[in-house]
Structure 1
Amino acid sequence: MFNYVTAGESHGPYLSAIITDFPAQVPLDQHQFWADLQQRQRGYGRGGRMKIETDRVQITSGVRYGLTLGSPIGLLLANRDFANWQEVMSVWPTEHNDAATKSSADRRKRIVTQPRPGHADLVGALKYDHHDLRNVLERASARETTMRVAVGSLCQQFLRQFKIEILGLVTNLGPVDLAATDLAAVSQTQSQANFRKWQQQVEQSDLRTVNPQTASAMKQAIDQAQAQRTTLGGQFCVVVQGLPSGLGSYTTAAEKIDARLAAALTSINAVKGVSFGDGFALSAMPGRATLDEIIADPDQGLVRNHNHQGGLEGGMTNGQPLIIHGVMKPIPTQPIGGATVDLRTGQAARATVERSDVTAVPAVSVIAQSMVAITLMQAFCEMFGSDTLPRIKRHYQDYLQELHERTTNY
């Protein structure tokens, strides 16, 4: 069944991914593929690394003349910054990085022994018995998510064949919130054409939000945080339009689609919370007010009068727009470092400061959009097959026809 794995270190020579069991005969748009990757790089408050890299991921296998073949899809991206790290991140021993010459200045200057609070540095080093924390932080870096966005772009192009559209946008940044009315306009049930307008608006915003005044206030908050030499977190929302009811299952815990989505989103660096629909606000509402009541419509079949549950019931999609909220903590790397202990000496120290952003919430909304696409495509292929697009379309249309008959003929 459709799956993927990524590989590579932040300053290594390449990032890569392998996708298995991606359906055959899916048309891919190269320009859309690269545009999706560019969205991850953009965003007010990003750091210097994004000025170095271009993230033009290359497809090396599994696609011919713009159509998928059904064979494994290979993705490859050269890290341009590797030119400055060839000795430090060399795959093989060299004159200056061999274990026998650990004391050399060339090697010692980028050895990391001062773990950064809030990162994987210390725990990862203890787990894998590393003494140079660079062995941990290079893989734990958010640079890895470049390949997840690449995989997610292909998944979005597959799902678009079924008129399923996905959008990740920023709803909060530090002290600034997007108005609830703005988010409601994006997340209400609407046509594919109208939703594509929201997508375009978000993609044109360097804060990935839908209100210019809100974006301006967010920029001011970022500027203030930069002046104070600190970082900002925030919140994002992923909205999915066009989903059928029935993706996922109530029968086992592992098949519940909300559980799978929550796991996918919390796998993103710095994401610390996920909710669906009205989320945590549901706890303060009386039960009657939380119901998405079922109404028989002569044309549409069975519909609901609200979407408090965010398009999910019993671990399955219910045909409403899927609404997922996520929280990203402030990036823990601080320009002035943080209190830590040097693992070589056992003495108090300031944490190593790697290059970082003031905020990456806009980028995380793109990554979240990709992770939702990947998870939904996996569930979609489990339900309708994954051999070839025309066959999946037939299965899908049969299912939609069955749903229509079940909900309109009484």
Structure 2
Amino acid sequence: MSFASWTAFRYLKSSRENRFFSWITFLSLFGLAIGVAALIVVLSVINGFEYELRNRFLQANAHIMAYRYPAGMSNPEKWSKIIERDFPDEVRGTSPFIHYETMAKSGSIMQGVLVRGIAPKQREAVQSMQNLIDPPTALAVLQQEIDDEAAGKPEPETPAVILGSGLLGILNVKVGETIHLIAPTENRFSDMKRFKVVGTYNSGLKHYDNRLVAMSLSSARSFFHMGDTVTGLEIGLNDADRSPQVARLMEEKYNLSFREWQSYNRPLFEAMERERTVIALIVAMVVIVAGFNILTTVFVSVSQKQRDISILKALGARNRQIMGLFLVQSLCIGIGGSIVGAILAGGISYVLEHYPFIDLPEPYFLKSLPVHYSAEVYLGVAGAASLVCLLAGLYPAYVASRVVPTEGIAGTGQAL
């Protein structure tokens, strides 16, 4: 251990003569810890929002959607083979889909819904829906309808549907009961058909869960009189973050329209990025205030140790060593406060994660505050706080290094 470090640790220890300084040091350290904890928790919650929304959007949407509007896409099998052939390293699977907005009816309740016709087996290669469906066997029911059609069997009298968990409550129905869907036609009156609810869809995103009706691709084609046409293809990638680049390449290559998952929610993620920066700067002011407390603490230490500084300099200590002594002292307070703050932040985050006593209002996508633990956030905030404390100790350390030995000894007990 160097001379500066050894002496700095000695000065931080409590003694009868410096109990007041020890309390100031403790309060400065604890104030820094509160600032560090607040900043880490805020960033963890904001990152948790982004992380949760990203995962849920990815589960609810394919990475890229290819479509031809408004005519629709005929021969989707041909397009699937072409895309998978041209982008073997990027694409992991494709699946046709039908997208249609209509009305659902249950008793006297009417509700606008979004019908999504899917092929579950092919959709699994694009993006798994298993953990969103309850019971998971509901997807097998939809797939069986597709297999039966391929085998030449007649369409079931009451096809199966999966309802969003919120829509289930709005229509006041239960799994096993039936609802009616209205299919717009060219005639004056629309067709109405009965469907059986075989499961629920729960993505945690209210704007999906309150509107979605999922049915088999074969039932959707029949219900909306689409023949062999589909709305488009869902495309799954090996790397979801490369969706914009891959979509641009596909748009240049094919006579189709493409839209990546980020474009559906870009304003939301851009707003969250701005909020993260603004909130982080505001909460960081607590750490800066704590840094000024460290500056005061080191000044008090320099004032109390003038005689010691003079003696050390008389014994041959150089200005650089004296300056280093007080810089190490401020850095020790910074590191200690950062460690305590990180531990405190971990405890608060654990409570928020496991005891969701804060319910988010309707405008938010999620029901409770999410928390995302990130070593980068913890180390980054702790490192920045330690740096602030080191910078706060620069001027007091410089003042200490300029003490003249004769004046320090002669002026024992006087403040700077």
TM-score (norm. length: structure 1): 0.22
Higher relative contact order by CA 8 Å / sep ≥ 6: 1 or 2? 2
Which has the larger helix fraction? 2
| Structure having the higher Rg | 2
